[in-house]
């Protein structure tokens, strides 16, 4: 079952499924849009949070992916997939070399006089 833009699914489960179908067909932004709609309709849908996190991570947005994985675990603490995804991101971050000095933010201290 595929969904055109004019016939959006109306339930969280339908949106989640349609989002995964869009992802499989390469329509990544449509997948993100439908997964977000699924979560608007049902914020406790742990699998949708995890799937959105996987997509955001693949798009190069690990910060938002971590948020999604954590939301998945809040919704369903026994769910293993978001736990594994968080662990994998933490391992990648630990293995990454530190940024060069020029990329580090400069800290300035204001002193009241």
Distance of alpha carbon 32 from alpha carbon 30, whole angstroms: 5
CB neighbour list of residue 81: distance below 8 Å, 6 or more residues apart: 50, 72
Residue 62 lies in a domain: yes
Predicted structure pTM score: 0.79
Query: Can you give the pLDDT at residue 1?
Result: 44
Residue 71 lies in a domain: yes
Distance of alpha carbon 39 from alpha carbon 6, whole angstroms: 20
Residue 68 lies in a domain: yes
Residue 65 lies in a domain: yes
Number of domains in the chain: 1
pLDDT by residue (tens digit) across 17-64? 999 999 999 999 999 999 999 999 999 999 999 999 999 999 999 999
CATH number of 48's domain: 1.25.40.10
10 vs 6, higher pLDDT: 10
Tell me the pLDDT band of 6, cut-offs 50, 70 and 90.
low
Query: Can you give the pLDDT at residue 110?
Result: 58
For residue 27, what are the domain limits? 12-92
pLDDT by residue (tens digit) across 62-110? 999 999 999 999 999 999 999 999 999 999 988 888 777 766 566 555 5
Residue 76 lies in a domain: yes
Distance of alpha carbon 94 from alpha carbon 89, whole angstroms: 9
Query: Can you give the pLDDT at residue 7?
Result: 76
């Amino acid at each position: 079952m595929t969904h055109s833009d004019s016939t959006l699914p109306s339930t969280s489960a339908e949106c989640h499924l349609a989002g995964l179908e869009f992802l499989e067909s390469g329509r990544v932004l449509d997948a993100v849009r439908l997964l977000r709609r699924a979560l608007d309709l049902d914020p406790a849908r742990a699998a949708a949070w995890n799937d959105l996190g996987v997509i955001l991570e693949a798009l190069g947005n690990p910060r938002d992916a971590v948020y999604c994985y954590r939301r998945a675990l809040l919704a369903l603490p026994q769910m293993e997939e978001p736990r594994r995804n968080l662990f994998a991101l933490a391992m990648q971050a630990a293995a990454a070399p530190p940024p060069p000095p020029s990329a580090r933010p400069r800290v300035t201290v204001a002193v009241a006089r």
